[in-house]
Every structure is written in structure tokens, then in C-alpha cells.
Structure 1
Amino acid sequence: MKKRFLYMLFPLLTMMGSCDKYLDVNKNVDAPDYVEGYLYLANIIQQYQGIYWDYRAIGPLTQMMGTTNSTYTSFANHYYALASDAGGELWRMVYWNQGMNLENMINQSLEAEDWTLAGIGYALKAFSWDALTKVHGELPMKDAFVPGLLSHNYDYQDEIYAQIREWARKAIELLEREDNHNYGTKISANDFIYAGDKSKWIKFAHAVIVRNLASLSNKKDFKDKYAQELIEAASKSFQSADDDATVKVTGGSQSAPYSNYNNFWGTARANLSYSFFQHEYAVQVFTGTVPEYDPATGDKIRVEGNSYYPYKLAEKQIIADTLVNQSGHFDPRVAVKLGTTSNPNYISIGNADTVKSYKFYGGSFTSTAGSVGTAPSFYGRNASSTYSGATNDGIGRWIYRDDAPYILTTYAEIQFCLAETYWKLDRKAEAFEAFKKAVAADMATTARYIYPGKEGSPTGGDKITRELFNQLANEYVNGPFVNGLADFTLSHIMMQKWAALYPWGALEAWVDMRKYHYDIEYSGEYPTNGNGWIQAQLEQKKDTDNSKVYKGLYLLPAQVQNRKGSYNIYNEGSPCYRLRPRYNSEYMWNIPALEKLKPIAGTANNYHTSIPWFAYPGDMPR
């Protein structure tokens, strides 16, 4: 009999039904050596909380979040010290938490001809590895699970990308096979994403292909080599927001037998608390208050008579504007996705005038103090999260609730990928149709997780009813920023995608920002030292530049007001393009493999600035 090892790092598990089954999994009475394939599934799926762990590093890189957490402020400044596992949870998830559990599940299921379970396994593997390489770049792939190896060579990203699509295609092939095995509830009871629905898992595998290829949209051969496959995969992927891929979370708050039963972002686990908060860029985008900067000085232009936002606004706002009393100009997602201290007692949260009067503030990269006010917590108070007392956050709100699911990918995201692809193919009418579907779908996804607070009671919840949100969402979608949009541009696609991904999809938002090189002003195919940045200064496109994708986005060293800083000297002027591999895995045990990486060695002080293959228009220099 082959020996197989079962790694269970969390109480088995977060949401597994029968304790008796867990205790009777071994053929060897002395040590675990065999587990039925389906018993791996619950644990594998629940490990996706690891992505939310790492959003504390990735969120600040995308200007979705700011942070005062000393472990993560360095990510907000695009540099972080080497000797830390911060930002390494996804690495741990793929190689260890899922790791051999997933390999065993796939291999045992293939051996037993359990095609459905094997197909789900391949779909999960493709999704996890796609996320991992987008964050870290090169990875040990061929050597990953080879028994007996004490060091593991790295594979380059072009090979990893191709393999991910192969795994996704294998998932589809297996899931489409006739499978007459009677699983009973073995799969449905342990599948916390689709409860064993094969049709949805097939759509999910197609979604992985779409997301994988969408990150290549700025490559020179995208139109000829990748675009058509993306379009075909999108047509077979999610068909509505009902197909969204989410991991169900039990919750239970303080009564839960294990804290991991609660959402990582919920109040019971206090991982966001008040040390993470919305960045002022997010507030500017959602409220239509992206400022205009003086082209000569880079300073904002102060105006009188507006105590809430005392600066001149850019003429072209992409997501919304401040004409909130005109139908379709107010984006109701702002009242759900962002936190506000307005209306602490939840009075008249079903009244449009009340909701439209809310004020929103964002912080800077590493301080709750922003340029026009103080950012609240994600729960809506200028205080650390608490679940008890006369004034508290209860069990949270929206996807910051103890029982909120982990969102992996959505129909809206797939439609935005499709819209961008059509745009690149100069099929603007089809791009616009996909764009409209995408925004409408994000409204449906956003509304699904609204849990209104109790009127008159400052004890947590959302400050808008689902009914009012849907009414305002319908007005917005049919208004001048979506269906009635007259000057459709790539910025509308990518910034609406950024808004849809906020903040659960920070990883993919960071992919998009990097493939468009943060809108850095440079010549040639990609920015380099002296061509886009120097040691203490970074040149970004002005918002008036038609080629600038993310209007209002400026990095820390950009030459505009409230930026004009500089990166750590080791960056050599460059922003961050990847996270380092997990320290306690690679820098403790795999240094020789890291040293061999090109064009920047994995041991170099500026390895985090090494541009990944997906962001190079051509081949990556080696």
C-alpha cells in the first residue's frame, strides 16, 4: 500500500459534518495512511480563507485599503522586510494546507474512477495555482510534490500559466464524463462552494481559464493567441450572478466552537478591527470626487463653500459624480462597500435622501487621516471593532460579517474580462454589452449580502435596506454611467471592474494595475529605471491623458499633492510587482533555487520589483 499523509492544520474541520467519519478514516490503526477522497474536500475548500489573510498585504498595494498595522504598512509603501511570513499565507495554502491533501484527493479519485470528485479537484488546483503565480510570479511547480526532494527548482510563469489552463481543461473533461457512482451526500455535504453541482463546477473551471487569460490582455500576442479562447471560455462560464463562486462560512460569532468557523474579516476574529480601513482613492472613485490637480504644481485646487470636499473635482468622473439628486448619478454600492460614521443609529435607512446624504472619508497609505477627513473602520466607526457594549458592530456588515462567505470569483468579473477582450479586439459594441451586464451583475452580487442594521440601535449592520439598494441600483444602471454612457472607454471597463472587485478581489485588481504598469509614464514596452522612475521620483500619467486607465490613481512617489514621497532605497524607484515567496519556506530552505532566478534573483533586495511575465508585452528577459 502506498503511504499517504494527511495534513490537518485546522480543527477538522470548519464545518465538516460527522465527527465519527473523521475518526474512522485509517486502514492502519497506528497512523493515518489512507483517507477516502471525499473527506479531503471540506478541508481543501475552507483553506481559501488564506486569500483573505493576504488581502491585508495586497489591498494596500491596490489603494483599496490603508493600514496602520506595523506588519503590513510596508506593503502599503511597496516595500517589505525579507524576514517575514506576512503576505505568505497563499503560498502556505497551496503548498501545505491544500498541498498533498489536494494531490491525494485527485489521485485517489482517478484511481477509483470517481470522475466528479477528481474534476472538482482539478478545478480547485487550477484556481489556487492561478492565484499563487499572479501574486508571486515564478514557482516550484514540477518539483512541488516530488517525494524526497530537499530543494525545489522554480518554473517560469509562462509554463505555469499553460499548465493551469491544462488543469482547468482536465477538470472540464472529467466533470463532463458520465459518472454513475452513487456518492450520496459525500460530495454535496463537503462541497461548500456548489454542493456537488457538476454544471456549476464546469462553469467555474471555464472561469479559471477566463481569469488566467485576461491577465495577458496587454501582451503583444493577446489578440492572436489568447483572445478567442477567452471568449469561448466566457461563453461556457457563469451565466448570471447565481453562478458566483463563494465559500460558505458557518459563523457563530463568539458561540462558535472554533474561531475559524467565522469569516476572517468578521468582528469575532478582529483581523480588520481598525488597523485596516478604506483608502481615500476608493472613496474618491465611489463618490465621484476624484480631484483635479494643477498641471504646473501637482497640487489640488482648493475651492470655497464646500466643507465636505474643499477641492475642485476632475471634470471626468468614471464611476459616479456628486449630482446625487439626479437619477442614476449616485452609485449605491458606496453605501454598502464603504464604511461611514454617518447615521450611527440607522434612522430611515430605507429613505433615499437619507442614504444619499452620507459622508465618506478615506485614509492615506499608512494613516486613518486622509486629505479631507478620517477613515472609519470597515464597520463604520472611528474605533476598533467590538461586538458588545451599548455601541458595537455586532457580527459585522456586508462581507465583513462573521457568517459572510468568501467570494472567489463572480459572473460580473467574467463579464468585465470579456468586455476588456472585446475592447482590445476593437469590437466596441460587444465590449459595451458585456460591460453593462458586468455592472448590473455586481449590483446583484452586492445586494445579496446586505444585512440592514436595526433602526434606533447602534449595534451594527448595513446602513441601507436591500429594497432601496435595488431601486437605486436600477436607476444607476440605466443612468449616464452605465447603460446611458456616451463616451465608453477602457477606463470605464477597468475602473468599474476595480469597483466590482472591491475589496474581495484585490488580487485580480492588482493584476490589472500591474499589467497596465500603474499608469506610469514611460516609453518603449515597459518602464525601467530612468524610464518611468528614478530613485526618488515616479512619473505617472496625468488624468487628462486619454491613455491613462485608472483616473485619479497616483502612487506614493507621484508628483501630486498628498503623494510626493519616495520608496525604500532598495526599490530603486520602482513600485512593487510581486510578493516574495514565503520566508519560512523558501528563504530558510531553498536559497540556491531563488538565486538562479532571472532577470532579478529571488535573493536580491529588489526582487519584489521584478516584473512578472504576464505584465511584459513580450517575453520576460531571462
Structure 2
Amino acid sequence: MKKTILFFIVVVAFSLTGCKKYLDVNKNIDAPDHVDGYLYLAGIQQQYEGIYWDTRAIGALTQMMGTNSSTYSTYALNSYIPGNDAAGETWRMVYWNQGMNLENLINQSLAAEDWTLAGIGYAIKAFSWDLMAKVNVDAPMKEAFVPGVLTHNYDYEKDIYAQVRAWAYKAIELLEKTDDHIYGTKITANDYIFGGDKSKWIKFAYAVIVRNLSSLSNKTDFSSSYAQELITAAGKSFQNPDDDATLKIAGGSQSAPYSDYNNFWGTANANLSYTYFQHEYAVQLFTGTVPEYDESTGEKVRGVEGNTYYPYKLAADQIVTDTLKNSMGHYDPRVAVKLGTTSNPTFLNQDNADSVKAYRYYGGTFTSTAGPIGTAPSYYGRNAASLYSGTVHDGIGRWIYRDDAPYILTTYAEIQFCLAEAYWKLGKKAEAFAAFKEGVKADMVTTGRYIYPGKAGSATGGDKISKSLFASLADQYVSGPFVNGLANFTLSHIMIQKWIALYPWGAPEAWVDLRKYNYDIKYSGDYPKSGNGWTATMVDQKWDSDPQKVYKGFYLMPAQVQGRKGSYDIKNQGAPCYRLRPRYNSEYMWNKGSLSALKPIPGTADNYQTSIPWFAYPGELPN
């Protein structure tokens, strides 16, 4: 598909006094010397489409997605493609798509004392750099935009993290500053996230701080160094789902002037189609069908003979839901919205609970739609590539896989789960439980907001549950045994419900959580390594029966269980992926010297993608 290109602003001033004055307007013959800061804003924000680009790779690493894309399946297998820019969009977004445009917005707004606009710029900068520091980890920061520098030394993640929070606090300072400038529609018409609402931008900046600190929750000094700052920031951040940070887009489907006016995951763009599909792990969580494994063999324990939908014995401890769908509060209606199903192809009885609860869901493997019990459908709900015309088609899509759906950046629900985890680490279980319940409740609101029901009797796309039925079932679920009535509250409940809330738009943050808990790998000492957590052919993960295992049912590809007994590329040396590599066309073409100086694994090494980030070490980086 055609990529979004940064807009270029050309200001033409014409004077009736003669050509000489017209030619003297700018010293720069290629572009205007000055552009008002607000004119950068819309273009900078729209570059967050890039998050959805890279989520196709990161979604595979989190087992939210599977993919048979010849490019992105490499990431599903925890490897990378040499000489390729795939999964380099976050890097490109920060350094080029936003890049100097964002620097100019901030600097010119500061010079003009446009404090509101400068504050918005710093909030955006903090969010973007926080994302890149988690995805790519180490990156050039101090020398990023120094004029005349042709190679750029790298800064380590720890230093970038501190600067991210400094930028966020600077945003807050500027946004809280008295600003008597009259902007008119200069900000409101160009701010596609909060429409110029300063109070929400302040909350957003605090949300960046919360997300940044939350990734450090498994460090040994989290309780003493970071927890209270996180809790304080959470209290000043989003107060309800109406504060969710989303980026509005134009939509328009096939009538749009450019395909990029549509959501990257909508049907008008062929970016999800049937190349990407829900992973079996996602289906297991959403349907309460995490299987039990025989720990002596790693094989799934067989269930009732002849039951093809539930062929395996189910683990006793299901975190999100179970298969007792007809018992009050046991059914999680998010499954009917977030996952695709081929059930009910003509969208009948969307307001009938029995009909909706009867839907069946199937997940694929890492690289194939063929899963352990059936075939994973497309995200639109058919075992076929997406079509937007004909007697059977997907229309404009559904939920956030819809042409006019906004991009979700972060939500109140996510912040509440971060808060719950922080309280848990401090031993404040009552406060953790309260935040956990609020997080699930909030995600129900956020999920229901984007439901777009299909037309009854017509196989032409949309969601397969009505908004009213979803709201009713959501209330029952929140009041039921998996949320408000939860008897045995654990860290697993916080982290897995957070994973569900992030599905799949928040895969980058879900990947942060999986990595900071080191994928539940079984090891001794401070961190896993070859011979102590994995070998060249197998990753040794905690069994679901281990009370210390956080992500029940989650096993990496070369684990000890059925369906996972493969191996990584030999270049990984047995280790899973812990970071995405920098963009090839900038760093491996022009900055290899700086990459090669990185420690503990050089950026030019064959296994650089396995280098553990600073946030996932209990202390500092090892030598």
C-alpha cells in the first residue's frame, strides 16, 4: 500500500510591489524559513499509524497474532530479516516521520511562548520515545538531531527512560502554565487526539510516566525507586474511559482520496486481510480453554472422547473465563468483539445472548491458520481474504479493524492495570484488587465503544453482537466470579487481564510485560542465559502449575510442550527475541560503527535481537 508521506507546507507570499520583494520572502529557495508550529501538529500525530505497522511483528511475538506473511513470520519465530526494513516503522516514525517536524514544533512554539502547543509537542515526544525505547531499546538520543553529524553514538535505554519522564514532566509544566495566546482553531482543528483539551493532554503526559515506570516493576528497586512515582502519576492521569487517548482518522473507505485516510487495519487497506490471524493462545485465554499438560511428557492431556471443540482436558486454573458460558457472569463478551469467528455469517440474532454465546473461535499457530482444533479465520470473520464488494464481503470492517476506527494509543484501563501491578508489588493487595476491577470494567467500556454491528440477514461485514447485549453481558461478567467475585486474586489475574485489554492494539506494551517477566522462563540467578533457561534447541519455561508463573498457558515456540517443540534460528543461540533491531536503511547502512559498540551484545551481532533490555534486568546491565 502507499505509505503516508509527511506533508510539506509551502507558504507563498505575493506582493503587488514587484517581483523582487516576492523573491526575498525566504532565504531558503527550497522551503519557507518559518512555519507556525501548529501547522506541524496534524501531520506529526497521523504518524502514529506506524504503531499498527509494527504491531504485525510484535503481535506475533506476544502470541496475540499468528502470520503466514513471508516477511513477518520471521518475527513470529523470534528472528529477523537481514537487510530489510520490516518492523522498522517505530524507528522511522521517531527519527523521520515525526523527527525534525516535532523538534521544530517544540522549538518554534517555545520561542513564540506558545506554551500550550509546546506542551503538546513534549507530550508527543515523550510518548514516541518511550515506545521506541521499549521496542528497539538502545538508540541515539543526545546526538539525534545535531546538525552536521553524520554518525550518531547510541544512548542506553536507562538514560532514554529518564529523559522520557523529563520530557513528560516538561509537557505538564508547559501545559499548566498560563497561556493567554488566542489560538482560535489553530490547535483544535489540528489536534486529532484531544482536540486541544489541555486537561487531557496533562493526563496523557502522566499516562506516559505511568507506562514508562510500569515496565520497571520487576526490578529489585522498583518498590523503593519507582512505585510511588507511578502511583502518584496514575492518580493524575486518566480518570475514566472518556480520557482514552485515541487518534481520529478520516475514513472514507474506497471513496477516500487516498487509502491512508483509512485505518491501517481496515478493509480498504490490505494490511490484515488473511495474512494475519488470531493465535491459539489468544483463543485459549478468551474462551477459558487453556489446556492441561502432562508434565512428564509435555503432551496435552486428552479430554472427553469425541468432543472436537474441547478435545483436551482444561487446566483447572482459568484466569479470564471458563466454558460454563450459561452460568451468570462466566461469559466474557469481549471474545465476540476482539476475536474473529465464522459463526453467524449473516449477522442474525445479535441481540440474543444464547446465540452469541454459541459462537465458536479458532486460533492458528505461529505461522499457519491451521490450529490445533480448527482453522483461524481472518480478523473480519471469514476463512478468506478480505473483500469490500460482492454478495459476501467485509464492508468497512468491524471494531478497531474498521476503515474509520481511530488508532488507540493508551487507555484508562491500561493505566489501572499498571496501578494494580504496582500496588501488588508493594504488598497492598486490597488496593491492587480495586484497581484490577476498575481496569476490567473500563476495558469493557472501551471495547464496547467501537462495536459496529453488521446488517441482519446480510453477509456484508460488521460485528456479531449488539452494543446493548454487550453492555448487559459485560455488567454480568464484571459482577461475576472472574472479577468482582474473584476469590483467589493473583498477579496472573492482573497481567493476563491487562494482556486482554491491550489485545491487539497494545501489543508493544504486552511485549514489555512478557519480557520483564522473562517470558516465564525457568532459571536461577538474576537473569536467564544459555544453559540456564535455554539451550540451543529448547527454552525451559515454568509449568502452569508453578505458582510463580505469571502468564498461565503461555509457552514460547521451542518450549517443552506439545505444539511448541521446534527451535529458533541457529543465530539466536537458543534465546528468544528481546528487542527489534533498528531500521536497516538508517543504522545498518550508515551507522554500523556506533551499533557495533553496544554492550553486552553488539548491534551488529547475529543475535542482537536476543539482547535483554535494561528494564528486564533486576539491576544494571551486566558487563
Query: TM range, normalised to the smaller chain?
Result: over 0.9
Is 1:479 the counterpart of 2:491? The answer is: no
In 2, Cα distance between equivalents of 1:27 and 1:182: 26
Deviation readout 1:83-110 (Å, 9 max, x if unpaired)? 1100100100000000000000000000
Is 1:388 the counterpart of 2:389? The answer is: yes
| Aligned counterpart, 2:365 | 364
In 2, Cα distance between equivalents of 1:410 and 1:426: 25
| Aligned counterpart, 1:552 | 553
Deviation readout 1:524-569 (Å, 9 max, x if unpaired)? 1110000000000110000000000000000100011111000000
Secondary structure of the corresponding residue to residue 66 of structure 2: strand
Deviation readout 1:114-146 (Å, 9 max, x if unpaired)? 000000000000000000010011100000000
Secondary structure of the corresponding residue to residue 585 of structure 2: helix
8 Å CA contact 2:6–2:97 kept in 1: the answer is no
8 Å CA contact 1:601–1:607 kept in 2: the answer is yes
Secondary structure of the corresponding residue to residue 551 of structure 2: coil
Secondary structure of the corresponding residue to residue 55 of structure 2: helix
Secondary structure of the corresponding residue to residue 186 of structure 1: coil
Matching of residues 454-473 of structure 1 within 5 Å: 454-473=455-474
Which AA in structure 2 matches 1:538?
V
| Aligned counterpart, 1:243 | 243
Where in structure 1 do 4 or more consecutive aligned residues deviate above 4 Å? 21-27
In 2, Cα distance between equivalents of 1:400 and 1:12: 26
| Aligned counterpart, 2:114 | 114
| Aligned counterpart, 2:499 | 498
| Aligned counterpart, 1:525 | 526
In 1, Cα distance between equivalents of 2:136 and 2:11: 34
| Aligned counterpart, 1:180 | 180
8 Å CA contact 1:387–1:395 kept in 2: the answer is yes
8 Å CA contact 2:67–2:275 kept in 1: the answer is yes
| Aligned counterpart, 1:613 | 614
Deviation readout 1:43-74 (Å, 9 max, x if unpaired)? 00000000100001100000000000001011
| Aligned counterpart, 1:273 | 273
Is 1:298 the counterpart of 2:293? The answer is: no
Secondary structure of the corresponding residue to residue 537 of structure 1: coil
Matching of residues 21-32 of structure 1 within 5 Å: 27-28=25-26, 30-32=29-31
In 2, Cα distance between equivalents of 1:419 and 1:596: 38
| Aligned counterpart, 2:207 | 207
| Aligned counterpart, 2:135 | 135
Cα distance change on mapping 1:593 and 1:481 into 2, 3 Å: same
Deviation readout 1:287-311 (Å, 9 max, x if unpaired)? 0000001111111112214221211
Matching of residues 150-161 of structure 1 within 5 Å: 150-161=150-161
| Aligned counterpart, 1:83 | 83
8 Å CA contact 2:308–2:373 kept in 1: the answer is no
| Aligned counterpart, 2:39 | 39
Secondary structure of the corresponding residue to residue 538 of structure 1: coil
| Aligned counterpart, 2:5 | 10
Tell me how far 1:621 sits from its aligned partner.
1.8
In 2, Cα distance between equivalents of 1:150 and 1:109: 27
| Aligned counterpart, 1:414 | 415
| Aligned counterpart, 2:400 | 399
Which AA in structure 2 matches 1:168?
A
Secondary structure of the corresponding residue to residue 618 of structure 1: coil
In 2, Cα distance between equivalents of 1:38 and 1:66: 40
Is 1:221 the counterpart of 2:221? The answer is: yes
Tell me how far 1:9 sits from its aligned partner.
6.0
8 Å CA contact 1:246–1:406 kept in 2: the answer is yes
8 Å CA contact 1:27–1:34 kept in 2: the answer is no
Cα distance change on mapping 1:516 and 1:210 into 2, 3 Å: same
In 1, Cα distance between equivalents of 2:388 and 2:7: 26
8 Å CA contact 1:452–1:465 kept in 2: the answer is yes
Matching of residues 44-59 of structure 1 within 5 Å: 44-59=44-59
Deviation readout 1:447-492 (Å, 9 max, x if unpaired)? 0000000000000000000000000000000000000000000000
**TM-score, structure 1 normalization:** 0.97
* 304-313 or 543-552, which deviates more: 304-313
Secondary structure of the corresponding residue to residue 413 of structure 1: helix
Is 1:66 the counterpart of 2:72? The answer is: no
In 2, Cα distance between equivalents of 1:209 and 1:538: 33
Deviation readout 1:188-213 (Å, 9 max, x if unpaired)? 00000000000000000000000000
Which AA in structure 2 matches 1:458?
A
| Aligned counterpart, 1:4 | none
Secondary structure of the corresponding residue to residue 397 of structure 2: coil
8 Å CA contact 2:4–2:260 kept in 1: the answer is no
In 1, Cα distance between equivalents of 2:29 and 2:585: 30
In 1, Cα distance between equivalents of 2:137 and 2:261: 31
In 2, Cα distance between equivalents of 1:446 and 1:577: 29
Which blocks of at least 5 consecutive residues in structure 1 are unaligned?
Answer: 1-7, 14-18
In 1, Cα distance between equivalents of 2:573 and 2:329: 45
Secondary structure of the corresponding residue to residue 246 of structure 1: strand
| Aligned counterpart, 1:99 | 99
Secondary structure of the corresponding residue to residue 513 of structure 2: helix
Which AA in structure 2 matches 1:286?
F
In 2, Cα distance between equivalents of 1:376 and 1:392: 14
In 2, Cα distance between equivalents of 1:22 and 1:192: 23
Secondary structure of the corresponding residue to residue 429 of structure 1: helix
In 1, Cα distance between equivalents of 2:29 and 2:299: 70
In 1, Cα distance between equivalents of 2:405 and 2:186: 24
Cα distance change on mapping 1:161 and 1:486 into 2, 3 Å: same
8 Å CA contact 1:246–1:407 kept in 2: the answer is yes
Secondary structure of the corresponding residue to residue 270 of structure 2: coil
Which AA in structure 1 matches 2:96?
W
Deviation readout 1:391-441 (Å, 9 max, x if unpaired)? 000000000000000000000000000000000000000000000000000
In 2, Cα distance between equivalents of 1:181 and 1:538: 59
**TM-score, structure 2 normalization:** 0.96
In 2, Cα distance between equivalents of 1:491 and 1:497: 10
Tell me how far 1:510 sits from its aligned partner.
0.1
In 1, Cα distance between equivalents of 2:35 and 2:192: 19
Is 1:354 the counterpart of 2:324? The answer is: no
Which AA in structure 2 matches 1:317?
Q
Secondary structure of the corresponding residue to residue 179 of structure 1: coil
Matching of residues 431-446 of structure 1 within 5 Å: 431-446=432-447
In 2, Cα distance between equivalents of 1:292 and 1:413: 29
Which AA in structure 2 matches 1:516?
Y
Which AA in structure 2 matches 1:120?
I
Secondary structure of the corresponding residue to residue 150 of structure 1: coil
Tell me how far 1:24 sits from its aligned partner.
6.5
Tell me how far 1:34 sits from its aligned partner.
1.7
Tell me how far 1:23 sits from its aligned partner.
6.1
Cα distance change on mapping 1:565 and 1:45 into 2, 3 Å: same
| Aligned counterpart, 1:5 | none
In 1, Cα distance between equivalents of 2:25 and 2:142: 30
Tell me how far 1:12 sits from its aligned partner.
3.8
Cα distance change on mapping 1:24 and 1:45 into 2, 3 Å: farther
Tell me how far 1:27 sits from its aligned partner.
4.6
CA RMSD across the alignment: 1.3
In 1, Cα distance between equivalents of 2:334 and 2:320: 10
In 2, Cα distance between equivalents of 1:76 and 1:428: 36
Which blocks of at least 5 consecutive residues in structure 2 are unaligned?
Answer: 15-23
Tell me how far 1:11 sits from its aligned partner.
6.5
In 1, Cα distance between equivalents of 2:205 and 2:117: 13
8 Å CA contact 1:9–1:97 kept in 2: the answer is no
| Aligned counterpart, 2:259 | 259
Identity of aligned residues (%): 71
Deviation readout 1:159-178 (Å, 9 max, x if unpaired)? 10000000000000000000
Tell me how far 1:80 sits from its aligned partner.
1.3
In 2, Cα distance between equivalents of 1:386 and 1:302: 38
Tell me how far 1:187 sits from its aligned partner.
0.2
In 1, Cα distance between equivalents of 2:134 and 2:367: 25
Secondary structure of the corresponding residue to residue 518 of structure 1: helix
* 408-417 or 291-300, which deviates more: 291-300
